[in-house]
Amino acid sequence: MKFKVLGSGAGIPSRTRNTQSFVLDVVEEINQYFLIDASEALQHRILNTTIRPSKIKHVFITHLHGDHIFGLPGFLSSRAHQGGEGIPLVIYGPPGLKEWIEVTFRISSSHLNYPIRFVEVVHDGEYEVEGFTVKSRLLDHAVDSFMYAFIEPEKLGALDSAKLKDIGIMPGPIYKEIKKSQTFQHEGETYATADFLSPPVEGRKVAVHGDTRIIDRPDYLELLDGADLIVHEATYLEGEKEKAHQYFHSEIDDVLNNLSRISYGRLLLVHISNRYDAEMLESVEEKMGDRAVIAHDYLEITIPRDSR
């Protein structure tokens, strides 16, 4: 599993940062990509990667501000001619997203060669997506803005070959059959497969925020607790907490302090304002140490199992 940053900037792009768009790469797990937000120039960003649009079958939009959706119509149109013909797409997002896309396509006389299904997300929503559980949580922004928590299913533990040998079953294709079963028989005896497996491996969790003020509710922090990767906006740097709150955004120190109450693997700070130059961002990163990473375009983070 990998997390790929196609755009790391806030509302206005800069020479080094496009506006916000991400891909959760689960090709190794389910041969797909999950697209999160669709900033302007998204289709061109994808051309600079190895991502295949036809393998994007689920899109998650955090909120309807332009810097998060203006690239969606172009991406949908390009996908139709990049191997996506006939491959259904599901788009998750706030109320109004379906209407905006339909009006845009009607006025521009655009047509697709694959079906789209829209899912209108809600606070505390839960969705089954290709075996993953995806939870939506309403944030605190000027418009409805959501966090998506992507939770991988747990993986079966490994077979204990020593135990199987003890009852007379030697290694071979039978092991694969045993692992897929609930029970198995050997020499007239019935055994429970679970007795021959190590404990299951917990699935990974990645939480991706839309734009938001700081949220310190216990239920919100409980959902984030144990995440392997938290992606959170930090539009404002140190000393700008009041301005961040005024404009429904977050400030870096507030993010770090809020999340210090839970356990997580890595924190990726995104939605970086174009007001800050590289020298200032480098100074902030030095102060944070290993607590967090400030995103840059085309950054790729590998999320191994047991990364917490």
Binding residues for Zn(2+): 63, 65, 67-68, 141, 211, 271
Which tokens hold the place of 184? 């198995």
Q: How far is CA 270 from each of CA 4, 11, 167, 206, rounded to the nearest angstrom? A: 12, 12, 55, 14
Instruction: Check: CB of residue 6 under 8 Å from CB of residue 67.
Output: no
Coil/strand/helix, residue 273: coil
Instruction: Check: CB of residue 120 under 8 Å from CB of residue 98.
Output: yes
Nearest-10 Cα torsion for 35, 41, 44, 46:
-10
Angle CA 296–38–290, to nearest 5 = 25
252's enclosing H/E stretch is helix 252-259
Could you give the CA distance from residue 89 to residue 138 in angstroms, rounded to a whole number?
A: 23
Which tokens hold the place of 126? 């839960």
Among candidate residues 37, 67, 144, 253, the one labeled active-site is: 67
306 catalytic? Reply is no
Could you give the CA distance from residue 198 to residue 160 in angstroms, rounded to a whole number?
A: 7
> Which residues have a catalytic role annotated?
67
